[in-house]
Amino acid sequence: VAGGFSWPVRVYWEDTDGGGIVYHASYLRFLERSRTEWLRSLGCSQTALAADPGVVFAVTRLLIDYRRPARLDDALSVVCAAAAVGAASLSFEQRILREAPSGGEELLVTATVKVACVNARTLKPQRIPETLAAVLSSKNL
């Protein structure tokens, strides 16, 4: 899983907590924004999928390691790489990085996220829609 899609996220007051750093649950929102934008970059609209064929993606398992804290005003990069594609699920390896003043990048967070494709109404597992599966396959995913 070298490289991968990256999405910029700015840290605002809403993301911080009274400890003066980003609240630990806020990173899950950042991770999902990157997954959403990765899907969008593949031409996949979740709103369209929810309407037809009526599927959404639901997180089923998440492992997250907090290595260094992010702070107000930080400019982050949230990396999203599809690590495995099943018939009805996707796994992602994700990282959150901060541009260091020195010019390099600091690794703040790593996460492994598994999402299931489910029926939007019943939440029962559903095959990944053909159109998306074809795009993933064309990228050797």
Enzyme catalytic residues? 17
Q: How many CA atoms lie within 13 A of 31 on its CB side?
A: 27
The answer to whether residue 44 forms part of the interface with a copy of itself (CB under 8 A) is: no
Taking CB under 8 A as the rule, does residue 72 contact a copy of itself? Answer: yes
Distances (CA, A) of 1 to 42, 51, 83, 120: 17, 32, 7, 30
Q: Determine, following the binding rule CB under 8 A, whether residue 12 of this chain makes contact with a copy of itself.
A: yes
- The reply to whether 45 sits near a copy of itself by the rule CB under 8 A is yes
Contact residue for a copy of itself among 3, 18, 101, 104 (CB under 8 A): 18
Cα–Cα distances in Å, from 44 out to 28, 50, 52, 87, 95? Answer: 21, 11, 12, 17, 22
**Which residues of this protein are in contact with a copy of itself, per CB under 8 A?**
10, 12-14, 16-21, 23-26, 28-29, 32-33, 36, 45-47, 50, 56, 58-66, 69, 71-73, 120, 123
